[in-house]
Copies of this chain bind each other. A is one copy, B any other.
């Protein structure tokens, strides 16, 4: 397909002057005759000339574009974090481009390569649950492309990070379950290598410890896949003998908790009378379902804004920048899927 975007050359030909004069006029160089300059600017407008940012970026190495990679934009947590990012980025004159990995490590790698090839000025990544190898991100760092990780992060990379206090959020959720009389609390978590899942498990275990409840390995579930496996694993827990069965489920996130609630409803198991359920994220749907879901709310919009702030700081003072991890606080939102205290 022929690309007919107007170039500096087109302007030069139309005005019968040299390409270098056009270039200098467009740059606002002082050594151009004012009338020539006026003619160049008018012709540029008439031809809808746009500075070829691709060619330009080869010279000035700045695109004023930021790239964002998230697992899935349909999850409210991510679309809300992105809205915070876009708000803050536009204050600083940056536009943003978004890609989704759809929880696939391969797609995440492709996204990283595409955005790097388009010379974004910075990359903001929340990693897929499949990602166990960070070479694709390390390569960006080796090329001096600033990277900020958010929410789904790893200890293996020395970069700025924005996370929520997953440990504290999980602790508060499990403490609430204990205070409402639950004793056999199961943790329905993600893959063993999944950072946020492990942080939340630590909070779960510490809450049990604080209230002198011995953890039961049988009640700690790690799912490699997050769409079908959690429900199947919960079904198996419910088939345990009555004294082994859980009386509460603390789920890695709201999407899992919602799938579990649906299954419990289908099996006519009453929530919270027979079993309590707690999520993590506070997706909008969670306040609407019956029973509404008790969950840990994350400040998603603020996480997005903070990620951009860290990038701006890094960009302003590259020499003294030390990669920091910002930890944002969560709030427990008590609704009807847990018993009253």
Contacts and interface: CB of A to CB of B under 8 A. Distances in A.
Interface of A: 1-5, 48, 50-55, 57-58, 61, 63, 65, 72-74, 76, 79-80, 82-83, 86, 90, 95-100, 102, 107, 110-111, 113-119, 139, 142-146, 284-285, 288-290, 315, 318
Contact of A288 (B57, B95, B117, B288): B288
6 contacts: A1-B146, A1-B315, A3-B119, A73-B73, A73-B98, A97-B98
Nearest to A110: B95
A2 B74 CA distance: 36
A282 to B, nearest CB: 13
A3 B143 contact: yes
A98 B95 contact: no
Q: Which of A58, A79, A90 has the most CB of B within 10 A?
A: A79
A55 B57 CA distance: 9
Nearest to A61: B3
Given A2-B144, A95-B114, A58 B50 contact: no
Contact of A139 (B48, B63, B74, B95): B48
A265 to B, nearest CB: 12
A221 B231 CA distance: 45
Nearest to A98: B98
A51 B116 CA distance: 11
Given A86-B102, A97-B97, A98-B99, A318 B1 contact: yes
B118 A65 contact: yes
B110 A99 contact: no
Given A114-B95, A318-B1, A54 B285 contact: no
Contacts of A57: 54
Contacts of A53: 114, 117-118
Contact of A97 (B2, B99, B107, B113): B99
Given A95-B111, A144-B1, A74 B83 contact: yes
A64 to B, nearest CB: 8
Contacts of A82: 73, 100
Contacts of A100: 82-83, 86, 98
